[in-house]
């Protein structure tokens, strides 16, 4: 299993024309946990990997988590979307992270890219805060 940081900027990223912020993701974790997410590159995600959602604003922190359902695929119908990945939000873990997010400093993040692997030293704090 690999753990990934998935970067979201609520001012730029949207889901069905709605800002893709912490509140939206917390609501979706309960109401519609299955997602298809855009990736700029394929990455080596596998079913069972975890995606930790890092929100860049208003406070830079991880406040949600999902499990990858299948390997990323190309979307031949949409030339603006390079790859997609199916994932399911983990409701209880997302609620726990929403209440007590993991800050950028605790993650040891330097420059942030759209998707990157979780640093090994950050994983214990993510798991603990998520109750996993």
For 14-36, the pLDDT digits (tens) are: 566 677 789 989 999 999 999 99
Contacts of residue 85, defined as CB under 8 A and 6 or more positions apart, other chains included, come to 36, 37, 39, 43, 45, 51, 68, 70, 71, 72, 73
Per-residue pLDDT, 130? 98
Per-residue pLDDT, 83? 87
* Reported pTM: 0.90
Mean pLDDT of 110-114: 73
Mean pLDDT of 53-58: 89
């Amino acid at each position: 299993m690999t753990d990934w940081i998935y970067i979201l900027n609520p001012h730029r990223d949207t889901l069905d024309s709605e800002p893709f912020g912490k509140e939206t993701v917390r609501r979706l974790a309960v109401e519609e946990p299955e997602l298809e997410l855009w990736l700029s590159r394929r990455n080596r995600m596998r079913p069972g990997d975890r995606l930790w959602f890092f929100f860049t604003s208003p406070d830079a922190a991880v406040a949600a988590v999902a499990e990858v359902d299948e390997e990323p695929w190309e979307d031949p119908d949409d030339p603006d979307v390079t790859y997609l990945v199916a994932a399911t939000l983990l409701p209880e873990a997302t609620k726990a992270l929403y209440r007590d997010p993991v800050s950028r400093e605790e993650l040891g993040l330097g420059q942030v890219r759209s998707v990157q692997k979780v640093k090994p030293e950050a994983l214990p704090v993510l798991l603990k805060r998520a109750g996993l």
